[in-house]
Amino acid sequence: MKDIKLPESIRKMIEGKTYTVDDMGKSGSKILIFDDMVLKIVKFRERNEDVVKLMRWLEGKVPAPRVLAYEREDEYQYLLMSKVKGSMSCDPYYMNRPKEMIRALADGMKFLWSVDISDCPRMMDLDAELKEARVRVENNDVDTSDAEPETYGEGGFKDPEDLLSWLETHRPSCEMVLSHGDYCLPNVFIEDGKFCGFIDLPEAGVADKWRDIALCYRSLKHNAEGTFGGAVYPDIDPNMLFTELGIEPDWDKINYYILLDELF
């Protein structure tokens, strides 16, 4: 811990505890994982304070990390959170039990839909998302090397500006719910075969329910095909998600939100 500069209040809470470093995500954050808590260190952004406010609002409503301490010091923000129990949905144990895993993913989504959003402090609707996407495109912050193969080039979009223009003129109707915002397998936890919690909530807020459906479908597809980790799971059919949710897929909305995510 000596090589990591920390606010004194947080250092006192974790002093002497062993930890591992999680570098799975793509956010550029430094994440230290302890036995009973997690410390996330990120460069300052005003929206991170909105995330902390939302997390405090979620306490008692959603099984997600609780804010144990939050400090801003110089150019960094430090968020110390409780640790969610269970295993990631992409744990090999559950990847080899696709029906059990996908039912848990669907149950987690239904849980979010059941939460009263009337006083939720954070809107992540298309107005907010497209506004931030516009900033990212204009600042050249979009990484096209990480896009789906068909997004850009022949048969796809010329560049992020072209994609954004299409998104702005093809906005779908929305069904507003409490949305996780990055509903992929590593962010949904399972214990004893049942959904038990969420992690990684920087994109959470009130949004169209199809945003989570789309990103969950894509995550199932990529994890089944071996995009992450290399192992292929031929028994996983991402379409099982719609059966467990009890809905018909709206492919126009699913494709829209997958394309929108290409700009983030």
Domains and CATH numbers, the chain: 8-82 (3.30.200.20), 87-261 (3.90.1200.10)
Q: What share of the chain in percent tops pLDDT 70?
A: 97
Over the stretch 62-110, which tens digit does the pLDDT of each residue have?
A: 999 999 999 999 899 999 999 999 999 999 999 999 999 999 999 999 9
Question: Going edge to edge, which strands form the sheet with 188-191?
Answer: 87-88, 188-191, 194-198
pLDDT tops 70 at residue 23: no
pLDDT at res. 74: 86
Q: Which stretches of the chain are assigned E, i.e. beta strand?
A: 20-22, 30-33, 37-43, 67-73, 76-82, 87-88, 176-179, 188-191, 194-198, 205-208
Q: Which stretches of 123-252 are assigned E, i.e. beta strand?
A: 176-179, 188-191, 194-198, 205-208
Q: Which stretches of 119-264 are assigned E, i.e. beta strand?
A: 176-179, 188-191, 194-198, 205-208
Q: Kindly report the pTM of this predicted structure.
A: 0.92
- Catalytic residue (one of 22, 143, 182, 252): 182
pLDDT at res. 1: 58
Over the stretch 107-165, which tens digit does the pLDDT of each residue have?
A: 999 999 999 999 999 999 999 999 999 999 999 999 999 999 999 999 999 999 999 99
Residue 229 region by backbone torsions, left for phi larger than 0, else alpha for psi between -120 and 50, else beta: left
pLDDT tops 70 at residue 8: yes
Q: How is residue 172 written in tokens?
A: 């779908």
In Å, how far are 205, 216, 262 from 50, measured between CA atoms?
10, 24, 23
Over the stretch 160-208, which tens digit does the pLDDT of each residue have?
A: 999 999 999 999 999 999 999 999 999 999 999 999 999 999 999 999 9
Cβ–Cβ < 8 Å for 212, 242: no
Residue 235 appears among annotated catalytic residues: no
